[in-house]
């Protein structure tokens, strides 16, 4: 009988003696590289212990496995897992159902997860990983799926860790095979992966040392926490950092309004609800009109230009003072979504374009400062308001002294309550030490809202005040 890779047919006189188990100790497969059926141990095997393989079409709760086993072999499965006492079996069945649900979630909608809802997909894989024991045969697929999520989003540091783990599993379970060769080729040149860097949202360098990333973060974060991107809750009372892409995506990562799912939203009872607050910043480039429609051109922090088509806010754009032409502006849009517009042109041509659709005027605010300066202001807020390893940094440009906050008493600006002065500068009794411009911007209600909102807890939509900022 001829065996080929696409059909996998053959009679293997020795391997066919190996029985099925729902928790097998071996993995068997046709190895086209060496032209034979191979069986590799998935764990240490005791003397006289029976070798077993997983040979069913379906996995799941015991009843399903039994049906599948009887269909194939005419008798019920009597493996270790199927022989569990009722109580333990119920627990195991529960776990199997959870695993199946999680697996379905990972691959639903034609595997679009890695690109369109990577955070949820990786979280799901993490949940799966926590339900698998050390010798589970699901690890190969798990690490493979996780490595895909990472590489699609340019997270090469994570990809490397997942891929190496996947490769190690393959070497153990498949031995010298094409699959292992492919792993090695990919490790040497990840750009051969078909999904390589489709999005840049999680960009990391391939040679990043993960242990370096862990240092300096607050609290106990293990390598596994980092690897699976486990949620670290925002520290209450800490001012928000506008460079956190999780809450401040660039245009590329803003979801479509008709998206099946996204990392920013959840669908409960067919109603889409934000999972957290999010906001898009754009540097103002110009205002235009096309066939009577006003649109605004913006550029995000990645340099990507995009348009906001927004009839309801037209008046607001026009009221901006000073007029758009004389200054630099940053436009902040809360809960933005992309919409595909179709415009009928006069000559019967149809124009299609994707733009941000703003439907509620209270979700837009215009700050009279360039996006670059807006983000630099954000950086100063964190530099002068936060303690790092017990040290504060004095805000005065000519000082910038770092002082231990437990040994010296600094002074907080009594207008914005954000910037700290060092003990020496307090004595100089200057008026503002060049802080006034920042202080004024930081005390405007909408800026305070952006800095102080609990971004990870969504209860109601946040709104901007309708006055200028
Ligand atoms: Zn069984
Ligand atoms: Zn201040
Ligand atoms: Zn100072």
Which ligand places an atom closest to the C-alpha of 76? 1
Cα distance between residue 74 and residue 21, in whole Å: 15
What is the Å distance from ligand 1's center to 42 Cα? 17
Helix axes 118-131, 86-111, angle to 10 degrees: 160
Whether 142 and 207 map to the same domain: the answer is yes
What is the Å distance from ligand 3's center to 126 Cα? 46
Write the CATH number for 2: 2.170.270.10
Whether 70 and 8 map to the same domain: the answer is yes
Q: Is the pLDDT of residue 220 over 90?
A: no
What is the Å distance from ligand 2's center to 43 Cα? 62
Which ligand places an atom closest to the C-alpha of 432? 2
Does 242 fall in a domain? no
Cβ proximity of 350 and 343 under 8 Å: yes
The residue from 349, 371, 393 where one domain ends is 371
The residue from 203, 232, 261 where one domain ends is 232
% of the chain beyond a pLDDT of 70: 91
Cα distance between residue 81 and residue 206, in whole Å: 41
Q: What does the pLDDT look like over 378-390, one tens digit per residue?
A: 999 999 999 888 8
What is the Å distance from ligand 3's center to 410 Cα? 9
Token representation of residue 443: 């005390």
Q: Is the pLDDT of residue 214 over 80?
A: no
Return the C-alpha torsion angle 367, 370, 376, 382, nearest 10. 10
Whether 325 and 413 map to the same domain: the answer is no
**Residue 212: per-residue pLDDT:** 72
Task: Give the number of C-alpha atoms closer than 13 A to the C-alpha of residue 85, restricted to the C-beta side.
Answer: 2
**Residue 405: per-residue pLDDT:** 84
Whether 138 and 216 map to the same domain: the answer is yes
Does 356 fall in a domain? yes
Cα distance between residue 240 and residue 382, in whole Å: 9
Whether 174 and 63 map to the same domain: the answer is no
Q: How many domains does the chain have?
A: 4
Whether 327 and 392 map to the same domain: the answer is no
**Residue 7: per-residue pLDDT:** 66
Bridge pairing between strands 305-309 and 350-357? parallel
What is the Å distance from ligand 1's center to 22 Cα? 4
**Residue 219: per-residue pLDDT:** 55
Cα distance between residue 439 and residue 37, in whole Å: 72
Q: Is the pLDDT of residue 217 over 60?
A: no
Which ligand places an atom closest to the C-alpha of 79? 1
Whether 322 and 410 map to the same domain: the answer is no
**Mean pLDDT over residues 462-469, rounded?**
75
Cβ proximity of 442 and 451 under 8 Å: yes
Confidence category of residue 469, pLDDT binned at 50, 70, 90: low
**Mean pLDDT over residues 12-25, rounded?**
93
Q: 135 Cβ partners below 8 Å, 6+ apart?
A: 25, 42, 43
Does 246 fall in a domain? no
Residue-number span of the structural domain to which 178 is assigned: 112-232
Whether 78 and 11 map to the same domain: the answer is yes
Cα distance between residue 270 and residue 315, in whole Å: 34
Lowest pLDDT segment from 91-95, 183-187, 340-344: 340-344
The residue from 340, 371, 402 where one domain ends is 371
Q: What does the pLDDT look like over 254-307, one tens digit per residue?
A: 999 998 899 999 988 888 899 999 999 999 988 777 766 778 899 999 999 999
**Residue 385: per-residue pLDDT:** 94
What is the Å distance from ligand 1's center to 81 Cα? 5
What is the Å distance from ligand 1's center to 256 Cα? 45
Which ligand places an atom closest to the C-alpha of 423? 3
Does 93 fall in a domain? no
DSSP state for residue 326 in the 8-state scheme: G
What is the Å distance from ligand 2's center to 412 Cα? 8
Cβ proximity of 323 and 332 under 8 Å: no
Does 95 fall in a domain? no
What is the Å distance from ligand 3's center to 382 Cα? 16
**Residue 318: per-residue pLDDT:** 56
Does 106 fall in a domain? no
Q: What does the pLDDT look like over 25-83, one tens digit per residue?
A: 999 999 999 999 999 999 999 999 999 999 998 889 999 999 999 999 999 999 999 99
- Dihedral sign of CA atoms 356, 357, 363, 366 in order: positive
**Residue 468: per-residue pLDDT:** 55
What is the Å distance from ligand 1's center to 165 Cα? 28
Whether 280 and 259 map to the same domain: the answer is yes
Cβ proximity of 20 and 46 under 8 Å: no
% of the chain beyond a pLDDT of 90: 65
Write the CATH number for 367: 2.40.50
Q: What does the pLDDT look like over 185-209, one tens digit per residue?
A: 999 999 999 999 999 999 999 988 8
Task: Give the number of C-alpha atoms closer than 13 A to the C-alpha of residue 283, restricted to the C-beta side.
Answer: 16
**Mean pLDDT over residues 237-241, rounded?**
92
Average pLDDT, the chain: 89
What is the Å distance from ligand 2's center to 436 Cα? 7
Whether 390 and 287 map to the same domain: the answer is no
Cβ proximity of 92 and 84 under 8 Å: yes
- Whole-number Cα distances in Å, 20 to 28, 55, 57, 84, 170: 11, 5, 11, 16, 21
Angle CA 66–68–73, to nearest 5: 90
Does 117 fall in a domain? yes
Whether 4 and 15 map to the same domain: the answer is yes
Token representation of residue 29: 């497969």
Does 462 fall in a domain? no
What does the chain come to in residues? 469
What is the Å distance from ligand 3's center to 431 Cα? 13
Cα distance between residue 120 and residue 149, in whole Å: 10
What is the Å distance from ligand 2's center to 415 Cα? 5
Q: Is the pLDDT of residue 426 over 60?
A: yes
Q: Is the pLDDT of residue 317 over 80?
A: no
Higher-confidence residue of 195 and 9: namely 195
Cα distance between residue 447 and residue 441, in whole Å: 7
Q: Cβ–Cβ contacts within 10 Å for residue 220, how many?
A: 7
Q: What does the pLDDT look like over 137-168, one tens digit per residue?
A: 899 999 999 999 999 999 999 999 999 999 99
Whether 183 and 123 map to the same domain: the answer is yes
Cα distance between residue 305 and residue 298, in whole Å: 6
What is the Å distance from ligand 1's center to 104 Cα? 22
What is the Å distance from ligand 2's center to 174 Cα? 63
Residues forming a β-bridge with 403: 392
């Amino acid at each position: 009988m001829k065996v080929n890779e696409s059909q996998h047919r053959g009679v293997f006189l020795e391997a066919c003696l190996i029985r099925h188990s729902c928790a097998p100790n071996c993995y068997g497969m046709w190895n086209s590289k060496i032209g034979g059926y191979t069986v590799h141990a998935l764990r240490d095997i005791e003397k006289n212990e029976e070798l077993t393989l997983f040979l069913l079409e379906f996995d799941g709760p015991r009843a399903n496995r039994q049906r599948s086993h009887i269909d194939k072999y005419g008798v019920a499965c009597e493996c270790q897992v199927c022989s569990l006492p009722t109580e333990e079996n119920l627990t195991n069945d529960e776990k199997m159902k959870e695993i199946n649900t999680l697996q379905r979630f990972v691959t639903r909608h034609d595997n679009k997860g890695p690109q369109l809802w990577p955070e949820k997909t990786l979280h799901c894989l993490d949940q799966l990983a926590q339900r698998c024991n050390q010798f589970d045969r699901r690890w190969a697929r798990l690490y493979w799926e996780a490595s895909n999520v990472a590489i699609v989003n340019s997270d090469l540091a994570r990809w490397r860790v997942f891929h190496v783990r996947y490769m190690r599993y393959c070497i153990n379970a498949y031995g010298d095979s094409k699959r292992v060769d492919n792993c090695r080729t990919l490790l040497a040149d990840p750009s051969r992966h078909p999904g390589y860097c489709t999005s840049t949202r999680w960009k990391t360098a391939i040679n990043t040392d993960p242990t370096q990333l862990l240092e300096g973060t607050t609290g106990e974060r293990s390598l596994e926490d980092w690897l699976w991107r486990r949620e670290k809750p925002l520290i209450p009372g800490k001012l928000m950092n506008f460079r956190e892409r999780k809450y401040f995506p660039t245009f590329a990562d803003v979801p479509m309004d008709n998206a099946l799912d996204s990392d920013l939203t959840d669908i409960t009872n067919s109603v889409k609800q934000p999972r957290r607050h999010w906001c898009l910043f754009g540097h103002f480039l110009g205002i235009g009109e096309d066939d009577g429609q006003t649109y605004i051109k913006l550029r995000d922090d990645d340099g990507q230009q995009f348009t906001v088509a927004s009839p309801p806010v037209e008046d607001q754009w026009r009221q901006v003072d000073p007029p758009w032409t004389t200054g630099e502006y940053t436009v902040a849009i809360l809960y933005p979504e992309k919409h595909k517009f179709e415009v009928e042109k006069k000559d019967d041509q149809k124009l299609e374009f994707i733009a941000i659709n703003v439907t509620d005027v209270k979700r837009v605010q215009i700050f009279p400062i360039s996006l670059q300066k807006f983000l630099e202001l954000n950086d100063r807020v964190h530099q002068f308001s936060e303690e790092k390893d017990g040290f504060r940094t004095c805000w005065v440009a000519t000082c910038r002294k770092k002082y231990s906050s437990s040994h010296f008493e600094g002074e907080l600006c009594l207008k914005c309550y954000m910037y700290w002065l060092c003990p020496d500068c307090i004595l100089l009794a200057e008026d503002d030490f060049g802080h006034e411009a920042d202080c004024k911007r930081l005390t405007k209600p909408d800026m305070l809202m952006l800095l102080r909102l609990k971004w990870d807890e969504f209860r109601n939509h946040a709104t901007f005040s309708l006055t200028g900022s």
